[in-house]
Copies of this chain bind each other. A is one copy, B any other.
């Protein structure tokens, strides 16, 4: 199968989509129950993407009984430092020697093949369920997914795209700038910037289904329909906009460079991003760009 290069893909997004280009999609799925709404969202994605001629692979973490724990068991053979176990250094070394455990290697190979990764999960405590958190802890090995020399838009997974697709227990009103849980854009910053973007993934807008328990059957079907429609045009989507790594100055401890601080983006009224807020007004739409197109 001919697959587009990352460069083609980016061009594709920029020019509004390349017709006929095919993607390889990895869905990392973390729900215990196939009949759940998360299961339905995953099934719709598989169906629609395959219909379009894309190929789809799934990591079904509970079904795989995926081990989320970062322990000594991940290092076969001798430790670099048996007197002081450092998971990150040991696995960096193990990765270099191609002796990571099979379950990690298998997930990294899936990731290597993927142009787009969709994470499908129920939000637990404003974040991933532990099984999916552990997938990142173990699979995004130092040296494989990032180094301190290669981060953000230079991260080692660059050229790939990623999207969070998740359900919440609370309703949408609770996740707003006046809601009891706080703005969902704040909640997504650590994940979308600190994890996905940090490793070089280009981040597509999240697919959020607030409180599926609050929906009746026809509303659920409408949500699945909307998801299918979005996926049909996924190749045309533009990723979120993060500040490029070369706007941060290593000599200032990776803070915004003097040059950037004098630019239009930094001298305006509104924060450049949610996290690089500079004490300014909130950057609405930087984590959930759809919000800019609605009255919300």
Contact = CB atoms under 8 A, between A and B. Distances in A.
Nearest to A254: B180
Interface in A271-292: 271, 273-282, 284
Count chain B CB atoms within 10 A of each CB in A128, A181, A271 and give the residue with the most.
A181
Interface in A141-162: 151-152
A125 B133 CA distance: 9
Interface string A258-271: 00010000000001
A137 B152 contact: no
B186 A274 contact: yes
Given A189-B182, A275-B183, A278-B178, A130 B134 contact: yes
Contacts of A126: 190-191, 194-195
Interface of A: 32-33, 35-36, 62, 68-72, 83-88, 124-131, 133-134, 136-137, 140, 151-152, 169-174, 176-183, 186-187, 189-191, 193-195, 198, 245, 248, 252-256, 261, 271, 273-282, 284
**Lowest 4 CB-CB distances: which A-B pairs, in order?**
A182-B275, A173-B253, A130-B134, A126-B190
